[in-house]
Structure 1
Amino acid sequence: MERVNDITCEKRTYSREFISHEHDFGQLLFPLQGSLDIQTERQEIKLDPDHCFYLPPKLVHHYRSVDRNEFLILDIPMHYLPEDTSSMYTQLDQQWASIRYLLLEEAKSQEGAAALADLTRYITNKLHRSTAPSIDYIHKHFREPIRLETLASLEHYHPAYYSAWFKKKTGKSPKVYISELRLKEAKHLLLSTGWSMSRISEELGFENSSSFTRWFVRWEGTSPQKYRILNNG
C-alpha cells in the first residue's frame, strides 16, 4: 500500500537499533506493549502505553525500542491533515483510549475503508484542536511563578526551542501569554470584588501590592485603583 496517499492502520514492532528517517505523511503512535525512544532535533521522548504521540510529515526522527514491543500505528496522508501540524505528545485519557480501541478494531478488520477515513478525519480534527500539555498547565497555574524549563519539560522540548515552538503555536511568547491571563484575571477581580490591592496581588502570586501595581501600570497604562474607579460606574 502506498502510505503517502492511503491511510494505513496496523500493528508494528521496532528494533533495538536507532533508525532515522522522515516521511511524507503524518503518523500517530499508540504503544500497546513496551516503549519507544523517539528523538527529534527539539524533543526526546520515551513513549509508553500511557501516552500517544503524533509525528507530523517531514520531521526527521530517530527511534528504537529496547524491550519487547508492539505499537498501533496510523499513517495519515497529507490531504487529511490541517496545514502546519506540529508534534504532539499527550496522555492517553478516556477520549484517546476510545480512539485507540476503534483503531484496533479497524486494524483487525481492514475492510471498512470508509469507516477508517471518517475516524481519521475525526482524529486530525482533534489533533488540530488539542490543547498542548504546557498550555493547559499555564491556564491552571498562571497565578503562580512558572519556569520556562517546567513548560519545556511538559512538551519534552529542549528549553532553547520551546519559546519558538510556543510562539508558533499561540502567536505570543510564553511571558506575554501568561501576563495576559494574569491581566484578565486582575481586571475581573478588580471589577467583580471589593478586595483590597493586597488581597488581589496575593491571589495573583505577586510579592506585595506595590509589585502588582507596577506590573499592572506597565501592561494597562493605568493603576489598578484608577482602573477600578473608571470601570465600575
Structure 2
Amino acid sequence: MDSVNHVTCEKRSYSREFHSHQHEFGQFLFPLQGSLDIQTKWQEINLDSDYCFYLPPRFDHNYRSMDRNEFLILDIPTQYLPENTSSMYIRLDKQWASIRYLLLEEAKSQENTSSLADLTRYVTSKLQISKPPSIDYIHKHFKESIRLETLAKIEHYHPAYYSAWFKKKTGKSPKVYISEHRLKEAKYLLISTIWSMSRISEELGFENSSSFTRWFVSCEGISPQKYRILNNR
C-alpha cells in the first residue's frame, strides 16, 4: 500500500546496519521487542519499550537495531497531519499503550480501513496535545533549579538546538516558560492560602522570603503581599 496516500499499520524489523532515508509521510514507531537506534541532525535516540517516537514527513534520519527486534509502524499521510509537526519522543504511558494495543488489533485484521483511518485521526489529534517529556519535567520540577542541558538531554537534543525547538513548541524560551509557570503557582498560593511569605517562598524553591519578594516584584511590578490584598477583596 502506498503510504504517501494511505494509512499503513504493520509490524517491521530492522537490521544491524545503519540505513538513511526520509519519507513523504509521518511515521509513528512503537517498540514491541528490542530497541532501535535513531539518529537525526540534532538527536540520538535508543528507542526502547518505554517510549514511542514520531518522525515528521521529509525528515532525514539514520536507523539500525543491534538486537532482535520488532516494531509496530504507523505510516500517516500528510492529509492526516497538522502543519509543521516536529519529531517527538513520547513516554509510553497507559494512554499511548492503549493506542498501541488498538493499532496492533487493526494491523492484525486489516479488514476495516475506515476504523484504522479514524484511529489514525485520533493519534494525530493526540500528537498535537501531547506534552513532550522535557515540558512534563518542568511541570514536575519547576520549584527546583533546572539546567538547559538537563532538558535537552531528556529530549535527546543538542542543547544548542533545544532552545529553538522549545520556542517553536511553546512560543517562549525555557527560562521564560519556567518563570511564568512558577509565577502562576505563586499567584495561586497567595490567593488560595493564608500561608506566610516564608512558607510560600520555601514551597516555590526560593532561599528566603526576600528573594521571593524581589523576584515577584520584578515579574508583576507589585509585592506579593500587595497582590494578595488586591485579589482577596
After TM superposition, the score normalised by the length of structure 1 is: 0.95
Deviates more, 1:71-80 or 1:209-218: 209-218
Task: Structure 1: give runs of 5+ residues left out of the alignment.
Answer: none
| Residue matched to 1:168 | 168
Q: Distance in 2 between matches of 1:191 and 1:110?
A: 55
Q: Deviations over 1:45-96 (max 9, x none)?
A: 1011222111111111110011111111110000000111111112222221
| Residue matched to 1:146 | 146
Secondary structure of the corresponding residue to residue 41 of structure 2: coil
Q: Distance in 2 between matches of 1:143 and 1:180?
A: 12
Q: Once the two structures are aligned, what percentage of the paired residues are identical?
A: 80
After superposition, residues 32-181 of structure 1 pair within 5 angstroms as 32-181=32-181
| Residue matched to 1:16 | 16
Once the 2 structures are TM-superposed, how far is the Cα of residue 6 of structure 1 from its aligned partner? 0.9
- What stretches of structure 1 move > 6 A for 4+ residues in a row? none
Which AA in structure 2 matches 1:136?
A: D
Q: Distance in 2 between matches of 1:179 and 1:149?
A: 17
Q: Deviations over 1:87-127 (max 9, x none)?
A: 11122222212211221222222221111111111111111
Which AA in structure 2 matches 1:34?
A: G
Which AA in structure 2 matches 1:227?
A: Y
| Residue matched to 1:221 | 221
Secondary structure of the corresponding residue to residue 46 of structure 2: strand
Which AA in structure 2 matches 1:39?
A: Q
Q: How many residues are aligned here?
A: 233
Deviates more, 1:62-71 or 1:192-201: 192-201
Across the aligned residues of Structure 1 and Structure 2, the Cα RMSD in angstroms comes to 1.3
| Residue matched to 2:188 | 188
Once the 2 structures are TM-superposed, how far is the Cα of residue 208 of structure 1 from its aligned partner? 1.2
After TM superposition, the score normalised by the length of structure 2 is: 0.95
Secondary structure of the corresponding residue to residue 98 of structure 2: helix
Q: Distance in 1 between matches of 2:58 and 2:134?
A: 24
Secondary structure of the corresponding residue to residue 58 of structure 1: coil
Change (3 A) 1:94 1:191: closer
Change (3 A) 1:231 1:95: closer
Q: Distance in 1 between matches of 2:194 and 2:8?
A: 59
Q: Is 1:207 aligned to 2:216, yes or no?
A: no
Q: Distance in 2 between matches of 1:231 and 1:104?
A: 52
Q: Distance in 2 between matches of 1:99 and 1:4?
A: 22
Deviates more, 1:46-55 or 1:73-82: 46-55
Once the 2 structures are TM-superposed, how far is the Cα of residue 180 of structure 1 from its aligned partner? 0.9
Once the 2 structures are TM-superposed, how far is the Cα of residue 232 of structure 1 from its aligned partner? 2.6
Q: Is 1:27 aligned to 2:27, yes or no?
A: yes
Q: Deviations over 1:146-203 (max 9, x none)?
A: 1112211221111111111111101111111111111111122222222222221111
Q: Distance in 2 between matches of 1:10 and 1:161?
A: 32
Q: Distance in 2 between matches of 1:107 and 1:171?
A: 37
Task: Structure 2: give runs of 5+ residues left out of the alignment.
Answer: none
